[in-house]
Amino acid sequence: MELSQAIRSRRMVRSFAAEPLEPGLVERLIADALRAPSAGNTRGVAWLVLQGDQTTLYWEHATSPDWRRRSPRFPGLSRAPVVALALCSPDAYVTRYGEPDKLGSGLGPPDLGEGGEAAWPVPYWFGDAAFSTMLLLLGAQDAGLGAAFLGNFRQETEVLSVLGVPPGWRLFGTVLLGKPDGGDTRSRSLDRRPGPGAGRLHRGRW
């Protein structure tokens, strides 16, 4: 599939078939996602992939019994055979920006006289995780799969702990991968009309 076609046809899928995916395909998609830009070549983004019965752990700890009971979309989401968590390490970036070629940026560790994590006006670790996530979404589209992105709204500490993620890593979000089962319902967000002054391309000045 051409890149422009993948971009234009990509959409979030929220109802999956339980059919498992080939392990080699999942590995290839993740490998491609890890080729995303990385600030300072820090490589502080990682993916934790759950497949088959392992996905139950994610749903049990990332959502509440009440939400699972009342959400009309939960059955379709929970059938996704692959749950991939996008993780990033703020410490890796702070350490990298304390190395000689980056020292003086003010973004390195406090013990080197730098500002540490709090000094970053834009946290590159989340930006790099977003780049990698977008590549995974586009890769899924190219492979003829469905994908959905779930934000990190709650239970991050619990989810990472139960999955054995070392301290210091953050959950950027989660990507569900699988084959669409055709039972998806149209998102009401698509009916949202742009407000006044909603133009998003500006030339020269705003």
Give residue-wise pLDDT tens across range 42-58: 999 999 999 999 999 99
Nearest to 62 by CA among 72, 40, 77: 77
CA 6 – CA 83 distance, rounded (Å)? 21
> What is the mean predicted confidence (pLDDT) over 136-157?
95
Q: Report the Cα 148 to chain-centroid distance in Å.
A: 9
What whole-number distance in Å separates Cα of residue 131 and Cα of residue 175? 13
C-alpha–C-alpha distance, residues 109 and 117, integer Å: 8
Tokens of 62: 């990332």
DSSP designation for 32: H
Out of 3.40.109.10, 3.30.465.10, 1.10.10.10, 3.40.50.300, the CATH code matching 3-91+124-183 is 3.40.109.10
Among 58-62, 153-157, 190-194, where is mean pLDDT lowest? 190-194
Domain ranges of the chain: 3-91+124-183
pLDDT, residue 65, reads: 95
Predicted confidence at residue 196, as pLDDT, reads 66
Task: Return the structure tokens found at 23.
Answer: 């392990």
H or E element in which residue 173 lies? strand 170-178
pLDDT above 90 (res 130): yes
